[in-house]
Amino acid sequence: MADAADLTATELLAEYRAGALSPAEAAGAVLARIERDDPELNAFCLLDEETTLDMARAATERWRRGATLGPLDGVPVSIKDVLLTRGWPTLRGSRTIDPAGPWAEDAPSVARLREQGAVFVGKTTTPEFAWKGVTDNPLTGVTRNPWDPSRTPGGSSGGAAAAVAAGMAPLALGTDGGGSVRIPAAFTGTFTIKPTYGRIPHYPASPFGTLAHTGPMTNTVADAALLLDAVCGADGRDWSSLPPPDVVFTEAAGRDDLTGLRVAFSPDLGFADVDPEVAAPVAAAAEVFAELGAKVERADPGFGDPVEAFEVLWFAGAAKVVEHLSPEERGLLDPGLREICERGARYSALDYLTATARRMELGRLMGLFHERYDLLLTPTTPIAAFEAGLEVPPGSPSPRWTGWTPFTYPFNMTQQPAASLPCGFTSRGLPVGLQVVGARHADALVMAACAAYERARPWRRFTRR
């Protein structure tokens, strides 16, 4: 049998049902993979082997008795280190947080996985307070891309993406405030979806406000559907959380035929510069949607780059994150984070409301756009993964990460569901991501379209060279 660390969650569950593999064995395989590969990749900032094995042994006994707690019982999962996890510190990549806690509460998504008997493998790395689109921080250093460890896995959920790609946990919880699950999915050849805002409850409330979503990160669409079904639904701690969806995502992901779907393909959103080595596989992927029966037209949504408005919202949020810190503690911050916090603190209420008005106009435009088109296809990122340890690629005209992520942050502003799925490779063998965007609340349609593409063009997963 293949190494259990290389099995998807769906495959693991099939093995459990057949009695061919136990959760304890799966956890052991994942921990062995982490021991082998994580010293190079640095995807985990916290490991607790004893707790992981205890959870796995309990799941094994439940499977033996036929008394599983839920569909994900015994499946290994990693948790991004911005999501509260009872009993484990959530340090957010910062030297300014006291590890002593107390850490007595789970975030809603974490609590639901615990209730279902999922096996917690550890906490994955993030840039400090999840502030940028790559993953390095003053506390744990640089996280690296399995496809090429000299390059970044993206961010801010870079540790989660690297862990999934490398077989260090088939499921991961990440967060996305401006592209933070989609960027690393594109860079690591994995799948993710940023669901409609509120679909997965979020607590504590993000200082970045209603830009931040929680999302699943996996190797397949089917696995993401399993994870979505487990963690969606209202939570009283999140006033903006949505009620349970009226669809089962694992059923929605069974769709093969896209006949009748109206699909817009925008290779550059009308304003972005895209590397030809990214543009070509994305354009080829759009043709696959036509092969599957969709009516695909080239069409831009009709808005200019909203980066200035996004930066007001994002940088002001960052300033809120650190407002309680002393001057000495601020000296411990990532220098880039410290710079945007200083800038964010200078914005006025009028500046913030002006940016909010720009956001609302963007939402109006996309609402009308989706009256004409069911889905929008774009590149996830305009470039492939670049050197690890840098915020921007060499030669970037912008000093900030927002300068090279034009396809992701607009759809945080509009709160729409947006997925990233692998669609090819550059000449250097680096993954390329296709972004699939749906209207608000059309999460199931996005998942169905991605699943149909996956079946038509199965992607090559990472294997250790």
Q: What is the mean pLDDT of residues 41-57?
A: 98
Q: What is the pLDDT of residue 394?
A: 95
Nearest to 410 by CA among 433, 432, 441, 379: 379
For 81-129, the pLDDT digits (tens) are 999 999 999 999 999 999 999 999 999 999 999 999 999 999 999 999 9
Nearest to 375 by CA among 455, 274, 271, 452: 452
Nearest to 430 by CA among 76, 184, 159, 67: 184
User: Mean pLDDT over all residues of the chain?
Assistant: 97
Q: Residue 223 is which amino acid? A: D
Chain position carrying tokens 């799966």: 26
Q: What is the pLDDT of residue 465?
A: 64
Instruction: Look up 180 and say whether it is catalytic.
Output: yes
Q: What is the pLDDT of residue 255?
A: 78
Separation CA 214–CA 199 (nearest Å):
9
Q: What is the mean pLDDT of residues 59-76?
A: 98
Nearest to 122 by CA among 206, 219, 33: 33
Whether 282 shows a pLDDT value over 70: the answer reads yes
Chain position carrying tokens 């990460």: 401
Q: What is the pLDDT of residue 330?
A: 97
Whether 1 shows a pLDDT value over 70: the answer reads no
pLDDT band at 256 (very low <50, low <70, confident <90, very high): confident
Whether 211 shows a pLDDT value over 60: the answer reads yes
Q: Which two tokens stand for residue 170?
A: 């088939």
Catalytic residue among 78, 80, 94, 157: 80
User: Are the CB atoms for 43 and 143 separated by under 8 Å?
Assistant: yes
Catalytic residue among 94, 157, 180, 266: 180
User: Are the CB atoms for 227 and 72 separated by under 8 Å?
Assistant: yes
Whether 371 shows a pLDDT value over 80: the answer reads yes
Instruction: Look up 156 and say whether it is catalytic.
Output: yes
Q: What is the mean pLDDT of residues 216-227?
A: 98
For 24-47, the pLDDT digits (tens) are 999 999 999 999 999 999 999 999
Indicate the domain borders of the chain. 4-456
Q: Cβ neighbours of residue 271 under 8 Å, at least 6 residues apart?
A: 304, 305, 406
Catalytic residue among 78, 94, 109, 156: 156
Output the CA torsion sign for 332, 79, 215, 191: positive
Whether 254 shows a pLDDT value over 90: the answer reads no
Q: Which two tokens stand for residue 234?
A: 């209202």
Which architecture characterizes domain 4-456 according to CATH? Alpha-Beta Complex (3.90)
Nearest to 454 by CA among 428, 419, 426, 427: 419
For 428-461, the pLDDT digits (tens) are 999 999 999 999 999 999 999 999 999 999 999 9
Separation CA 265–CA 283 (nearest Å):
8
pTM for the predicted model, two decimal places: 0.98
Chain position carrying tokens 């945007």: 340
Per-residue CA distances from 347 to 171, 206, 291, 317, 342 (Å)? 39, 19, 49, 11, 9
For 417-427, the pLDDT digits (tens) are 999 999 999 99
